[in-house]
Amino acid sequence: MSENTPHVCCLGEDCGHQIIEVRIGTIGQFYQTLDPSPDLEKDLNPDTVEYLIDTTEEMKNQKEEVHIDLYLENSLFQNTELKSRMEKSIPAYFSRRVDILEHKHRMSHKKARKNLIRGLAFLIVCVALSVILTNFVDNALVYAFGQSLTVIGWVALWNPAEFYLYNHREEKDEINIMKRLAGASVSSKPLT
């Protein structure tokens, strides 16, 4: 485990909250230290983010609120201003992620709709050509080509079908996880 990897504690439940405990020994375990932004706009350490997301996904009750306990090394805990910024940084970071993911989802939805319209138009053309070729031309090669057009037409709907059947739900689930973390309450405790 590197110096910038958070030491993870455990997942617990208390008073209708799902609790995530995270041990932070250095500032580099919490913030992305290469990011020059102010603390409330700074990216969190990728390992910390991954741990919070993975733990939230594993929670039994996806409806309960999330509470995050930061167990901070003594020098971090004693710095009241830094401690307060760290507590606010988690919801701020995940709120930004929600905005980004919702924008990407809207763009994916728009693209899928366009692909669906194109795919349906292409399918109609392919089926019409297939009907003409298979019903009015008496040639085995032309008949096979006509049947292939039907298959090609259906394949054109693969991308929008994949989005609406699978990707749409996965994107919504990811947004919901980020929203739970954006709405999480955060408190700090000294690392003992």
pTM of the model: 0.77
List the single range of 36-40, 113-117, 188-192 with lowest mean pLDDT: 36-40
Instruction: Say if residue 4's pLDDT is above 60.
Output: no
Average pLDDT of the chain to the nearest whole number:
88
pLDDT of residue 138: 83
pLDDT given for residue 1 in this prediction: 43
Angle at 164 between CA 159 and CA 168, to 5 degrees: 110
